[in-house]
């Protein structure tokens, strides 16, 4: 399957606040305040008075539900990148810093963008539930070795690769 080029790229940085929430700053001027629930879903509100929830569906799909009921799906692509159904690629610039970030952005960036697969435009409730079951299913193939007491709820658990991280 050939990769898809995003229509637009928007980077962001995250700041962990003292109360355990995250303040996200997007390069297009948007600001979000994010709170993670025990279920893994993230409730958010932004500076345009929009609210919603980002819910993981399996390891790679994210369901963003706005308070008005509209839904947008995203596909996590690793390295802090998420391609959304509207063609926007969000890139976490707080995942890598210094020389590692420069190397990944400069050398691998084009290859990482060129090979992205679009997320689904729509899903049935049954398809969503099947992905939820995969995520919560048995086995520990995706285990990072962290225990609940080691995790503040926001770490990627993989050194910043953001595979199943915080839904860019």
- Give domain status of residue 167, yes or no: no
Q: Does the residue 151 lie in any domain?
A: no
- Domain range holding 61? 8-125
Predicted local confidence at residue 116, as pLDDT: 81
What's the domain count of the chain? 1
Residues 6+ positions from 82 with CB-CB distance below 8 Å: 62, 74, 75, 76, 89, 90, 167, 168
Predicted pLDDT at 161: 39
pLDDT of residue 128: 95
Could you tell me the pTM of the whole model?
A: 0.73
Domain presence at residue 149: no
Q: Is residue 139 part of a domain?
A: no
Question: What number is the average pLDDT over the span 140-148?
Answer: 34
- Reported as a single tens digit per residue, the pLDDT across 37-80 is 998 999 999 999 999 999 999 989 999 999 999 999 999 998 88
21 within a domain of the structure (yes/no): yes
Look at residue 162 and tell me whether its pLDDT is greater than 80.
Answer: no
With respect to residue 1, please indicate whether it lies within any of the assigned structural domains: no
Evaluate whether residue 152 is within a structural domain: no
The alpha carbon of residue 153 and the mean position of all alpha carbons in its chain are separated, in whole angstroms, by 14
DSSP assignment of 16-70, as one string?
E-TTS-EEEEETTS-EEEEEE-TTS-EEEEETTS-EEEEEEETTTEEEEEETTS-
């Amino acid at each position: 399957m050939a990769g898809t080029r995003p229509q637009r790229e928007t980077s962001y940085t995250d700041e962990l606040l003292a109360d355990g929430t995250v303040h996200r700053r997007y390069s297009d001027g948007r600001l979000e305040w994010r709170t993670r629930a025990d279920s893994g879903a993230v409730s958010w509100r932004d500076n345009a008075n929009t609210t919603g929830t980002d819910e993981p569906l399996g390891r790679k799909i994210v369901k963003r539900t706005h308070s008005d009921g509209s839904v947008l799906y995203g596909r996590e692509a690793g390295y802090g990148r998420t391609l959304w159904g509207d063609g926007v690629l969000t890139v976490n610039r707080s995942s890598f810093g210094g020389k590692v970030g420069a190397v990944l952005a400069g050398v691998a960036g084009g290859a990482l963008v060129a090979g992205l697969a679009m997320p689904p435009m729509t899903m049935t409730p049954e398809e969503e539930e099947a992905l939820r079951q995969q995520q919560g299913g048995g086995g520990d193939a995706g285990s990072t070795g962290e225990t609940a007491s080691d995790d503040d709820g926001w770490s990627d658990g993989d050194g910043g690769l953001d595979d199943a991280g915080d839904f860019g």
